[in-house]
Structure 1
Amino acid sequence: MTTLRFPVAAGAPGAPGALTDVEAVISQHLPAAAQGDARAYGRIVAACQNPITAIALAIVRDVPASQDIAQDAFISAWRHLQRLQNPSSFLPWLRQITRNLARDHLRARVRGGGPVDDAEGVIEAAADPGLDPLQQAMADERQAMAVELISALPEDSREVLLLYYREGQRSQQVAALLGLSDAAVRKRLSRARATVRGELLARFGEFSRSTAPSAAFASAVTTALLLASPPAAAAGLLTVGAAAGAKTAGKLLLGAAGSIGFALVAAIAGVYLGLRRQLRGAIDTAERHALIRSAVVCALASVGFAVGITVVAARSDGWQWPVATTAVFMATVLWQSMVVQPRVLRRRHAHEASLDPSGAARRRRREKAIAWLGAVVGVTAGTGGLVVGLMASGRL
């Protein structure tokens, strides 16, 4: 059997530099993030994404699901940042959130009798009925490899090994990011080396590196921050949509088209990311399909608004048509977020209440408060942006 050694990377005695980098990013940007600065939080996500996705992957053994769970963990932490008193506690707190979400995912998969992410296959099939069989085969093979490689490792070594290869084989860096001592990390690495044959361990190293999240992961999380729940999605869609409408009303053609395109991409990305999180807890096919229909309506409303506001701004000089187009868009998004989606989730909420009445009641009260806050913020910001645009264009 081939013997693999786990050296400490040269130039990283105790890995103080790498640790300082991560700590510096957190301490520098956490105060702004706690005040609602999504860009500052995005920098924290980029610094911490490797360990968080590794923790999730070690538990669920599914690469796409692990990245979804990591995204949910970052968003959950974002929602509750003001509770955090000590910036040095952020990473341990985030790790625990991730482990809890990953275990919840496994429990939901057992209750559902199949992979939770099957629901995402419904979306993909609807969006692209002619899915390339070769791509599907490659995805299936990759998932089988993930299960095989991760299952072969001692359970307490999985997080350590995944992060060890992703972090350039620096045991001190792994220890810092996972909150362990360097001796504990080395012990787990040695146990894995003694347990798993060398060829399989080499394959695992390549697998770990190839599945590390890219810079696009942090960008996706940042996009999803304003759209972390249906009410927040309403506020986000209304704000970016009306902002695009205001710019179109004020300045047509190329500049306006660019602003609309950006808003449209952000809105649809937010709808999709929010839908994936909702589908993960769906109790049956009927609920999945209803959630997908609602998301499709919101996405089509965004597309319709982007096209409609451009057309009416180009072909009319008054304020009536831009206002009417914006009002229809706002009404559609609010109806879906405030009425349709809560109805769809009613059975799930009833089931949660039967298991934990007080906890479910607290969550519903919090969701209702966020719903109204999101609606008020979205309508106010959207209407304000439209009025400014109409005034700037001389229409009002």
Structure 2
Amino acid sequence: MNAETIEGLIHHELPAAADGDRHAYSRIVAACQNAVTGLALAIVRDVPASEDIAQEAFLNAWNNLRRLQNPTSFLPWLREITRNLARDHLRNARRFAREVADADEVIAAVADPGPGPAEHLIEHERQHAAAELISALPDDSREVLLLYYREGQSSQQVAALLGLSDAAVRKRLSRARATVRSELLARFSAFACDSAPSAAFTAMVATALGVASPTATAAIAVSALGAGAVGSGVGKLGAGGVGAGVSAGVAGGAAGGGFSYLVDAAMRYDVVLVASLAGVLASYLGGRYLLRFAGNERERAAINRFVRNITAITAVFCVGAAALVVLTRGWIPITAFAIASLAVLNYQYLVPLPRIMAPCFARAARRSGAYQPPRMYRYCFGSSAVWISSVFALAGLLHALAEAGRF
């Protein structure tokens, strides 16, 4: 996507996004994610941390969109949010590095039953190599080079995304080429491309928007239910759905969406397949996000096991809901089944998942000072998200039952 297309997309989508349209905002996120993660990475020199910062920057901007009067100010505003968050991250990391010398912290780190020395060494070397590669570049060229290689080596594109002139971008590129070995630049080019965020990044931000703006989510949910769109019943994180609710949390939401739509569509068995496939897709993408935090094979295996369990439970619930639509009348059997289903799903999110992720976050806290999970994780998998999404799921179900005349 070239610079003119990105600017045109922002101008077109921003008014709708400011009114609460998270699908419009998701399209903006997809267009800008390379630039925002690149800005954060140039400052913090840590790929996972840069994506967490970028996610927080997008959510911060989403929550304050109504304050933005001019669409042309969006990119400069978003860049400033990102840089401020990245600098805050570095300050917290330095503060933690000083505090970790405390004897109790050292003892706790040594006694940690998590990853062994080999896993720690591999992870440390990987992060160190990335930081070293970025640090070898001139200070004023890091952002330019990251975006240059991620955006198809177009200086005009980089200039538009960073708010610079094309001449200024070319000057920085020339300075980097003159001071950095060609072999190092080749390595950096590969690193910049390989570390670029995937479509799953946009999906995770889109999912979190449902909790970031409950009012907008409720409006979307009601309109979706009224339209009877496939899988659009309110599910995990406020808005399940084939395209928008993409996370492991939304795997449970596919069941909520399946309940609502199955009641509304009565005998249409194809909806069962759609809801189940939505749950599988959501589980896959959500599992990819969770695996970023894993530091060893044991943690990866535990996360994969959790995702498989959620996927299987969701499929069973979708099929069960279809059977109840056919075999029962009224609202009590389906509502009771929905409540039982949500109870089982919520247990998975509230008990096994925090236990699985605890060693991952403890390790991240010791390394970078991140004392709590990233905001994206809290929006997708935190206890508040679980309970809010459950309320929306039940509300969507009751709406569909009423529309179907089952009361």
1:85 pairs, out of 69, 82, 85, with 69
- For residues 1-396 of structure 1, the aligned pairs below 5 Å read 18-110=2-94, 111=96, 143-228=127-212, 234-236=237-239, 241-249=255-263, 250-251=266-267, 253-263=269-279, 265-266=281-282, 304=313, 306-311=315-320, 313-314=322-323, 316-318=327-329, 319-329=331-341, 379-388=394-403, 391=405, 396=407
Residue identity matched to 2:267: K
RMSD of aligned Cα (Å): 4.8
Tell me if structure 1 keeps the 8 A contact 2:40–2:86.
yes
Residues 212-264 of structure 1 show CA distances to partners (whole Å, capped at 9, x for unaligned) of 33444333432332245999865346875433112334235333231243156
Tell me if structure 2 keeps the 8 A contact 1:224–1:270.
no
Instruction: Classify the secondary structure of the residue corresponding to 1:164.
Output: helix
1:92 CA drift (Å) = 0.9
Aligned-residue identity in percent: 48
Which stretch of the first structure deviates more once superposed, 87-96 or 191-200?
191-200
Which stretch of the first structure deviates more once superposed, 169-178 or 260-269?
260-269
CA distance in 2, matches of 1:84, 1:230: 20
How many residues end up aligned between the 2 structures?
323
CA distance in 1, matches of 2:13, 2:391: 28
Instruction: Classify the secondary structure of the residue corresponding to 1:68.
Output: helix
1:182 CA drift (Å) = 3.0
Gaps of 5+ in 2: 102-111, 218-235, 240-249, 294-298, 354-383
TM-score (norm 2): 0.62
TM-score (norm 1): 0.64
1:27 CA drift (Å) = 0.3
Residues 317-351 of structure 1 show CA distances to partners (whole Å, capped at 9, x for unaligned) of 1332211122344567889999xx9xxxxxxxxxx
* Structure 1 residues 308 and 210, CA gap change in structure 2 (3 angstroms): closer
CA distance in 2, matches of 1:259, 1:38: 21
Tell me if structure 1 keeps the 8 A contact 2:237–2:388.
no
Instruction: Classify the secondary structure of the residue corresponding to 2:205.
Output: helix
1:376 CA drift (Å) = 6.3
Gaps of 5+ in 1: 1-16, 115-121, 126-132, 280-288, 342-368
CA distance in 2, matches of 1:268, 1:165: 28
Residue identity matched to 1:201: L
Tell me if structure 2 keeps the 8 A contact 1:27–1:87.
yes
Instruction: Classify the secondary structure of the residue corresponding to 1:213.
Output: coil
Residues 63-97 of structure 1 show CA distances to partners (whole Å, capped at 9, x for unaligned) of 23322322222222222222211111111111122
Residue identity matched to 1:86: N
Residues 136-191 of structure 1 show CA distances to partners (whole Å, capped at 9, x for unaligned) of 96x77654432221010122211011112222333232122111233432333233
